[in-house]
Amino acid sequence: MNALHLMAELIFMPLIAFIVGMMMVLMMRKIAARLQRRIGPPFFQPLYDIVKLYGKDTQISHGLIHDIGIIMAVGGYIGAEILLPVPGMEGIAAKGGVITLSYFLMIPSLGMALGVGQCANPNGSIGISRALTAMLAYDIPFILVVFGAAWHYQSTSLIGMIEYQQMHQWGIVEMPLLAIAGLFALQGMLGKQPFEIYIAPAEIATGPMVEMSGKYMGGLFVMQTFQLYTAGVLYASLFLGGGTSFLTLLPKAFLVVALPMSIAFMFPRYKTEDVIRILWKWPVMLALISLAFIL
């Protein structure tokens, strides 16, 4: 019974993530459209895009590593989803904890790097080297934030953190500086302006995606839905007290994702070195000050 229950959770957790993630993509595109004074895409547009991309008749594969790279990218996020507890479903979150989760979140970028490397397109190579640099930039504040939160809650398990917040106060009230640093890291993690350097269409023709077609591109679209969902739910669990039901969790997650999106469409992108400078300066400083308080 228990094993069956776990199996069901392992299937449903990524599925929920996918559906919610698609709605987040829709929200992102709607926010962009509203800021740009237009209507924006219809409700099912993210689904149409993904089905269309998977329904392409021909694909170009650049070799085995190219295929594996995409599987790693999507698989890394699926792994992250089952480590991310949602109301009613815990998956293997109790066994993994937030440290494992942050390792899982690095797999997609590495997978993409492998896949893009095989394409041999210089735009892709430049893009992925920028993406890895950006990862280095946002991971430092991200790890600091995770460390700070774990120290504060005296637990590395997300379930424990959520329970703590349900009993006491939300993390954002108790450690606001760390929460702000987390938002910075989130902006970098989602790869939105001003930290959008690695997809830069005007310079390197969307960088890592340049050689992706059909199912590969579909894989990246799926990855994007997971990415938004993970970012939203993780931040909500760390600082906004998670949720006892989806009705309380999802609004928080959507709010968390909407914030960087609204900022993104008002700014140009920084250059690579500026990305590192900004991300290593402000969020790291905030996180360290906050850590000083917590410790």
Partner 1 sequence: MRPENYQAVKLGQSNEYEIFIGPNHPGIEGNYAFRLMLDGDIVVSGKADAGYLHRGFEKLMEGRLWIQNLAIVPRICVPDPAPMEVAYSMAVEEIMGIEAPIRAQWIRTMQLELSRVAAHLFTFGGHAATTGMYTPMFWGVADRDLVLDLFEDFTGGRVYSIYNIPGGVRRELPPEFLQKLSNLLDYLESRQNDYDNLLFTNQVFVDRAKGCGALTQEQALELSVTGPNLRACGLAYDVRRDDPYLVYDELEFDIPIQTAGDAYARILVRRDELFQSIRILRQIIERLPSIKGKIRTPIPNPLSWNVRKGEAYARVESSKGELAYYVVSDGGDKPYRVHVRGPSSMHAVQTLEFLAKGARLEDVAQIMFSLDACPPEVDR
Partner 2 sequence: MKKELKIIQKERTNPLAHVFDDFISFCQSKSLFMLHYCTGCGAIELPPAMTSRFDMERLGIQPMVTPRQADILLITGYVSIKTLKRVILTYEQMQSPKYVIGICSCTVNGGMYWQSYATAKKLNEYMPVDVYIAGCMPRPEAVMEGLQRLKDNIRNDKKEHKGSAWKDYFNRYDYYLGNQQALFGDDWQTPTDIIAEAKLYDLETEETYGKHTKLLEKHQTPLLPQEMRIK
**Alpha-carbon dihedral of residues 232, 235, 240, 242, nearest 10 degrees?**
70
What would the two tokens of residue 132 be?
């890895």
128: contact with partner 2 by CB under 8 A: no
243: contact with partner 1 by CB under 8 A: no
DSSP character for 39? -
Name the binder of 35 from partner 1, partner 2, none, CB < 5-8 A by kind. Answer: partner 1
Express the helix, strand and coil content of the chain in percent, nearest 5 each. 75, 0, 20
Name the binder of 233 from partner 2, partner 1, none, CB < 5-8 A by kind. Answer: none
Interface with partner 1 (CB under 8 A), residue from 43, 44, 48, 267: 267
281: contact with partner 1 by CB under 8 A: no
Question: Which 2-41 residues touch partner 1, going by CB under 8 A?
Answer: 32, 35-38
Name the binder of 268 from partner 1, partner 2, none, CB < 5-8 A by kind. Answer: partner 1
Is 89 buried (19+), middle (13-18) or exposed (0-12) by CB count in 10 A? middle
Q: What 3-state DSSP class applies to 89? A: strand
Q: Do 228 and 257 meet the contact criterion of CB atoms below 8 Å apart?
A: yes
Considering beta carbons, is residue 197 or 222 the nearer one to partner 1?
Answer: 197
Q: By CB under 8 A, how many residues form the interface with partner 1?
A: 34
Interface with partner 2 (CB under 8 A), residue from 6, 10, 16, 45: 45
What's the distance, CA 207 to chain centroid?
A: 18
60: contact with partner 1 by CB under 8 A: yes
Considering beta carbons, is residue 234 or 278 the nearer one to partner 1?
Answer: 278
CA distance linking residue 237 with residue 235, whole number of Å: 5
Rg of the chain over CA atoms, in angstroms?
A: 19
Name the binder of 196 from partner 1, partner 2, none, CB < 5-8 A by kind. Answer: partner 1
Name the binder of 163 from partner 1, partner 2, none, CB < 5-8 A by kind. Answer: none
Considering beta carbons, is residue 195 or 226 the nearer one to partner 1?
Answer: 195
What would the two tokens of residue 186 be?
């989130």
Name the binder of 212 from partner 1, partner 2, none, CB < 5-8 A by kind. Answer: partner 2
Asked if residue 194 has a cis previous peptide bond (ω within 30° of 0), the answer is yes
CA distance linking residue 72 with residue 62, whole number of Å: 16
Of the ranges 57-65, 127-135, 137-145, 231-239, which one interacts with partner 2 (CB under 8 A)? 57-65
How many CB atoms sit inside 10 A of residue 56's CB? 13
Residues lying near partner 2 in the complex (CB under 8 A): 29, 33, 36-42, 44-45, 47-49, 51-52, 55-61, 120, 122, 201, 205-206, 209-214, 217
